[in-house]
Amino acid sequence: MPMKIENGPFWKRVEENLHNDFMRGAVAGMQDRGYVRRLGVIEELGHWEEWRSLAEQIRKHTLENLDFYLMQLSENVAKRGGHVFFAQTAEEANDYIRRVALEKQAKKIVKSKSMVTEEINLNPVLEAIGCQVVETDLGEYILQIDDHDPPSHIVGPALHKNKEQIRDVFQRKLGYTKSSDPVELARHAREMLRRDYLTADIGITGCNFAIAESGSITLVTNEGNADLVTALPKTQITVMGMERIVPTFEEMEVLVSMLTRSAVGQKLTSYITVLTGPRDEGDVDGPEEFHLVIVDNGRSSILGTEFQPVLQCIRCAACVNVCPVYRHIGGHSYGSIYSGPIGAVLSPLLGGYDDYKELPYASSLCAACTEACPVKIPLHELLIKHRQIIVEREGKAPAAEKLAMKAFRLGTASPSLYRFGTKLAPSAFAPFAEDGRITKGPGPLKAWTESREFPAPSKERFRDWFQTRQKGGNPS
Amino acid sequence: MKVSLFVTCLIDLFYTNAGKATVELLERLGCEVDFPEAQTCCGQPAYNSGYVKEAKEAMKQMMRAFAHADYVVTPSGSCAAMVKEYPHLFHGDPEWEEEAKQLAAKTYELTQFLVDVLKVEDVGASLHGRATYHTSCHMTRLLGVKEAPLCLLKNVKGLELVPLPNAHQCCGFGGTFSVKMGPISEQMVDEKIAHIEEVDADYLIGADCGCLMNIGGRIERLGKPIRVMHIAEVLNQRK
């Protein structure tokens, strides 16, 4: 699955999803339950705003010194016998991983959840050399066997499917014969996956946080699948975005707490695993060989720009879970594996404006995302910055809008023009108004009056009333 | 106390009653209200659409218009939040940075001004019926004014104030969002109206005319028997 989801133009995707009642019910339910749960664990921790500031400081500090920490991380991984590869592009990352797979003559590869491997579209590269690649995160597993249905949420990728749909997929693809009971479904997936763990040649994981001081990686799951992926196969490959790094264990602990509370409303997830290099002498399990692939793929060109704060992201999806636009259109409407507010900011940066020019506008700028973000990314402000670039640099704004904004500048910068223009408003709108309202508006008002009445301009402006009143007339 | 009213373009042109109520209310509470004629718009429609240069011209006009004001009071949380952003936007601009800071520092949203500056919580208003209050996003999240309007509304005689379910959710206005992303905005406002109906409110009260134009416009289109009122109008009711 590459970052871009090939499912048609923006409005086609939105229209389809607005009619997907099941998906919308599932998303709204998840958001409403998640909201209460998240506020609960925030309250329980106490001093949330101070924790957010600390988390922001950690992320900012790391990004400002990223070169240093990347070097420290790679040295420490090497010291512990691991291999480090810096991939500037998706191709370089995929080539390296393919070479390792070929060298190991791998037939089967198990994977735990990783957004960056989706972003670089790793699975088809491995499948092309004859490897069977098995996703072991339950949500990802369901999507994979359903003919690679794209993820619709960065933490709960199969959020858009209900248990009956999952049962149908299992029946069709796995010969499943039992009910749609989630416990039975999960048990079946578990039995299937257990065999895969035991027979896999390579385990591939993502990375929640790499720890520079020790060369360790941290994996956060509720299913324990990452532990089997890293414990059983002889070779482990961990793929990380170059910004997913913390200086020491101390900062890791803070960020993991922020992550699990923000992502799933839990104090901690069921499994939080820290792994350092390959198996040591005397270890009972773990890989014989460990590779860390650090992926740039456009990230370094975000560094040092006004968009740098987006690299603070710890992929918790708190912004997605409170977004009222995501609530109605769902993840697939974004056309990117990164959906919701973080996706609307990140996708144009990594994938360009040609494919993602609508996303910065798919927000009412309500700032629920900014408020929820545990590392204080000013998401709604970054969306405005995208809009500014689309207008000023990309020249992709509609001509009518440009004209309207020119008029806005003239009218609002000059009080006399403003007074003159607004004085004309009631008569300009008169042909469209009835009973003080406009039901079918002209020009840009048309889109408004598709679903709402628009008020007719008042016959007497406020300023006229005020002036008359000051002069002693019209006392009410 | 002398107060300069920033009435906002929406109220100047469309919701004049909210503006009149603001004046009467402030005067009743002992303020001398002045209306600087040179005011236009806070710049938000352009700024939020990415037209920063255009927006800044409007902002400069605002700074000129209110240069001599002691207090600037506005019956809009969203416009007040925009003005509070000026120092950030003019940071490093030798000509305007200081002006931006001054205007931001002396600007108050109406309910914030009543509660925090005038120290009034009961304005002696009365209105009979069941009401719910829409907490607009910019007022609560960007300006940080959450308690003041509720505090004032609780003291309105005869008004039964009921909490709005999912109050934290945006009504779908978002300025140009409401027309650029019309079909999405429509779903959002419909969900908001469903929640208002859920609590069986006679009145929907808000402190931002943008939100009220959106929610009210949809309520009118659907023919729902819910009356939409700006909080200034409610606080100025004395029946």
Which positions 407-466 of A are in contact with B (Cβ < 8 Å)? Answer: 408-409, 411-415, 418-419, 422, 425, 437, 439, 444-445, 447-448, 450-458, 460-463, 465-466
The last residue of a domain, from among A249, A272, A295? A295
Chain A residues 231-260 with a CB less than 8 Å from chain B: none
**Among residues 202-221 of chain B, which lie with CB inside 8 Å of chain A?**
213-214, 216-218, 220-221
Q: Could you give the CA distance from residue A23 to residue A87 in angstroms, rounded to a whole number?
A: 36
The whole-angstrom separation of Cα B131 and Cα B123 is 17
List the structure tokens of B106. Answer: 């002396």
Strand segments, DSSP code E, in A61-194 are 83-87, 108-111, 132-135
Residue among A18, A362, A408 minimizing CB distance to B54: A408
- What's the domain count of chain A? 2
> Rounded to the nearest 10 degrees, what angle do helices A21-45 and A249-264 cross at?
130
Residues of chain A contacting residue B49, judged by C-beta atoms under 8 Å apart: 387, 391, 401, 405
- Tell me if A462 and B7 make a contact (CB, 8 A cut-off): yes
| Residues of chain A contacting B56 with CB distance shorter than 8 Å | none
Is residue A345 situated within a structural domain?
no
Contact criterion met (CB below 8 Å) for B66 and B103? yes
The pLDDT score that the predictor gives to residue A400 is 83
Could you report the per-residue pLDDT of A264-281, keeping only the tens digit for each? 999 999 999 999 999 988
Write out the two tokens for A413. 């910068």
Interchain proximity B61–A412, CB inside 8 Å: yes
Q: Where does the pLDDT of residue A230 fall: very low under 50, low under 70, confident under 90, or very high at 90 and above?
A: very high
Final residue in a domain of this structure, among A255, A278, A295: A295
Do B182 and A390 make contact, defined as CB atoms within 8 angstroms? no
Q: What local confidence, expressed as pLDDT, does residue A420 receive?
A: 86
Rounded CA separation B161/A349 (Å): 45
Token pair 């009973």 is found at: A435
- pLDDT at position A474, please? 57
Contacts of B41 in chain A (CB under 8 A): 408, 412, 418
Considering the domain boundaries, does residue A375 fall inside one? no
**Domain check: are A285 and A420 in the same one?**
no
- Direct distance between the N- and C-terminal alpha carbons of chain B, in angstroms, rounded to an integer: 27
Between the two ends of chain A, the Cα-to-Cα distance in Å is 66
The rounded mean pLDDT for chain A is 95
Percentage of residues of chain A with pLDDT beyond 70: 99
CB nearest B49 (choices: A329, A401, A452)? A401
- Pick the closest to residue A78 from A278, A335, A327 (CA basis): A278
Q: How far is Cα A419 from Cα A401, in angstroms, rounded to an integer?
A: 22
Q: Which residue in chain B is spatially nearest to A454 when comparing CA positions?
A: B217
Instruction: Kindly state whether residue A237 falls inside one of the protein's structural domains.
Output: yes
Whether A266 maps to a domain, the answer reads: yes
Query: Residue A448 and residue B182: Cβ atoms within 8 Å?
Result: yes
Query: A114-126 pLDDT, tens per residue?
Result: 999 999 999 999 9
Report pLDDT for A425.
Answer: 83
Q: What is the CATH number of the domain that holds A244?
A: 3.40.50.10420
CB atoms within 10 A of CB B121: 12
On the question of pLDDT at A372 being above 80, the answer is yes
Gap from B39 CA to chain A (nearest CA, Å): 7
In a domain, A371, yes or no: no
Partner residue facing A412 (CB), from B16, B41, B221: B41
| Check whether domain B2-117 has CATH 3.40.50, yes or no | yes
> Contact B43/A412, CB-based, under 8 Å?
yes
- CA A37-A43-A47 angle, to 5 degrees, is 140
Say if the Cβ atoms of B14 and A457 lie within 8 Å. yes
Residues spanned by the domain of A457? 407-470
Four-point Cα dihedral B47, A323, A326, A383, nearest 10: 30
- State which amino acid sits at residue A34: G
Together in a domain, A280 and A416: no
What three-state secondary structure class fits A82?
Answer: coil
| Distance (Å) from the alpha carbon of B198 to chain A's nearest alpha carbon | 16
Query: Could you read off the pLDDT of A34-89 as tens digits, one per residue?
Result: 999 999 999 999 999 999 999 999 999 999 999 999 999 999 999 999 999 999 99
pLDDT the model gives residue A176 = 95
Q: Is A372 on the interface with B (CB under 8 A)?
A: no
Given a contact cutoff of 8 angstroms between Cβ atoms, the answer to whether A278 and A81 are in contact is yes
Residues in chain A with CB shorter than 8 Å from the CB of B141 are: 366-368, 370-371
pLDDT of residue A398: 85
Question: Contacts of residue A367 in chain B, CB cutoff 8 Å?
Answer: 137-138, 141-142
Identify the weakest region by mean pLDDT among A74-78, A371-375, A439-443, B30-34: A439-443
Contacts of B188 (CB under 8 A, 6+ apart): A324, A325, A328, A364, B169, B170, B171, B172
DSSP symbols for chain B: -EEEE---HHHHHT-HHHHHHHHHHHHHTTPEEE--TT----SHHHHHTT-HHHHHHHHHHHHHHTTT-SEEEES-HHHHHHHHHHHHHTTT-TTTHHHHHHHHHHEEEHHHIIIIIS--S----EEEEEEEEE--HIIIIIS---HHHHHHHHTSEEEEE-PPTTTTS--S-TTTHHHHTHHHHHHHHHHHHHHHHHTT-SEEEES-HHHHHHHHHHHHHHT---EEEEHHHHHT-B-
**Residue in A409, A452, A456 closest to B57 by CB:** A409
User: Which residue from B23, B179, B218 is facing A444, i.e. has the nearest CB?
Assistant: B179
Instruction: Residue B44: count other Cβ atoms within 10 Å of its Cβ.
Output: 24
Chosen for mutation from B83, B170, B212, B219 (greatest number of chain A CBs closer than 10 Å) is B170
d(CA A361, CA B182): 11
Is B188's CB within 8 Å of A406's CB? no
Question: Taking each helix axis from N to C terminus, what angle separates A138-145 and A163-174, rounded to the nearest 10 degrees?
Answer: 60
Confidence at residue A1, expressed as pLDDT on a 0 to 100 scale: 65
Count of Cβ atoms closer than 10 Å to residue B165 Cβ: 15
* Cβ count near A124 (within 10 Å): 12
Q: Which residue from A389, A405, A457 is facing B54, i.e. has the nearest CB? A: A405
Burial of A418-454, coded b for 16+ CB within 10 Å and e otherwise, reads bbebbeebbeebeebbeeebbeebeeebebbbebbbb
Asked if residue A385 belongs to a domain, the reply is no
Residues of chain B contacting A412 with CB distance shorter than 8 Å: 40-41, 43, 46, 57-58, 61
Does residue A387 fall inside a structural domain?
no
pTM: 0.96
Q: Does A371 touch chain B (CB under 8 A)?
A: yes
Which of A295, A327, A354 finishes a domain?
A295
DSSP A379: H
| pLDDT for res A395 | 83
The predicted pLDDT at position A473 comes to: 64
Predicted ipTM beyond 0.90: yes
Q: Chain A residue with minimal CA distance to B43?
A: A412
pLDDT at A399 over 80: yes
Q: Mapping DSSP to helix (H, G, I), strand (E, B) and coil, where does residue A138 land? A: helix
Residues of B in contact with A397 (CB under 8 A): 50
Domain made up of B126-235: CATH architecture: 3-Layer(aba) Sandwich (3.40)
B2-117 with B126-235: one CATH topology?
yes
Identify whether residues A81 and A215 lie together within a single domain: yes
Q: pLDDT below 70 — which residues of chain B?
A: none
Span A137-153, pLDDT tens digits:
999 999 999 999 999 99
